[in-house]
Structure 1
Amino acid sequence: MMENSTWEQKLNVLTHVLTYPTTTPPLHSQYFVATQLPCYLNWDYPPLLCRHASAASQPLLLKWAFSQFLKRVSRFGLPHTSWRSKCPFQQPPPLVLAKGVEEARWGEEERRQYVWKRLRRKRLGSNVNPIIPILLPNLLLFLFLFWDPIPLDET
């Protein structure tokens, strides 16, 4: 459990992860994190190096492998992207750029062109004539004014 770790261990791991961000951690990094913190199934590397690895580690490995399979199937095999992947000018740059995002170029002219391209982009939404959403409900209300579905005279 995470409660078994001391604050010093948590701080060491946090410092390590923040100073060496990567999607494919090397073996020494995995070993360091595994010795400091307990293992979880949502990690990207197998729970081979866990402190609590015992003879019952085979079901843990199967669970981890199945969870990795489900993650990849849900993304159709595409790399994991997040909100950072869509921000090429963020520091440090994202590890995996989202599809359709170009790598950041830091020259003055390139940044100006990037901003103009973003400003010229079409807005999100549908291309419906603005008269239609106003006119149709008003016409329906107007129809109900003249058409009486329940007549009051029953003669």
Structure 2
Amino acid sequence: MKNTKWERRLEVVTHVLTHPTTTPSLHSQILISTLLPSNYYTIDSYPPIFSSKSTQLRWALSLFLDKVSRFGAPPTSWRSKCPYHIPPPLILAKGVEEAKWEDVEKREYVSKRMRKRRLGNNINPLVPILVPNILLLSLLLWNPYPDEN
């Protein structure tokens, strides 16, 4: 990427931003592969068409492992969890309702979000402090490696 011109980089970034998709068309793949050298791909969904076989196999294996890790579900990002963004996300995350733009519905959505509990666990804050200290104190009182003298 260091030896590519800024115009080509800008053209690639513009194309990717103006055509957001999780499955790029063949035209997009060929455009990206001709504008950028094959070893500088920053976008995992675009295959290295004009690269060596090992690069193509590595890309195919990484794509397969990514899909297997998600159990075939479509990829979601932080934008997928925000239904009120403009433009709206291409794919909504699981459990997120579609945006409703009436004032009353927006108020209900905000009040529902505010009622949700804070993400985290309900552990007493003394527990993470006391447990390690008690373990260290027990090592002072009880020697796990007694002297053999």
Count of residue correspondences: 130
CA contact (8 A) 1:88 1:101 kept: yes
Partner of 2:64: 69
Per the normalisation by structure 2, the TM-score is: 0.72
Alpha-carbon distance between aligned partners in 1 of 2:19 and 2:75, rounded to the nearest angstrom: 18
Provide the secondary structure at the position in 1 that maps to 2:72: coil
Give 1:126 deviation, angstroms: 3.4
Cα distance per residue 1:60-105 (max 9 Å; x no partner) = 2211111112212332332222211111111222222211111112
Larger Rg belongs to? 1
The residue identity in structure 1 corresponding to 2:68 is V
Provide the secondary structure at the position in 2 that maps to 1:21: coil
Where in structure 2 are there 5+ consecutive unaligned residues?
135-140, 142-149
CA contact (8 A) 2:81 2:93 kept: yes
Alpha-carbon distance between aligned partners in 2 of 1:90 and 1:61, rounded to the nearest angstrom: 35
RMSD (CA atoms) = 2.8
Give 1:127 deviation, angstroms: 4.3
Alpha-carbon distance between aligned partners in 1 of 2:65 and 2:42, rounded to the nearest angstrom: 12
Matched, 1:6 2:22: no
CA contact (8 A) 1:41 1:67 kept: no
Cα distance per residue 1:31-71 (max 9 Å; x no partner) = 111111123385213222x3xx3xxx222221111111221
Q: Structure 1 residues 122 and 11, CA, compared in 2 at 3 Å: closer, same or farther?
A: same
CA contact (8 A) 1:41 1:63 kept: no
The residue identity in structure 2 corresponding to 1:28 is H
Partner of 1:104: 99
Provide the secondary structure at the position in 1 that maps to 2:121: coil
Q: Structure 1 residues 21 and 42, CA, compared in 2 at 3 Å: closer, same or farther?
A: closer
Identity fraction in percent: 56
Where in structure 1 are there 5+ consecutive unaligned residues?
142-148, 150-155
Matched, 1:19 2:14: no
The residue identity in structure 1 corresponding to 2:93 is A
Partner of 1:92: 87
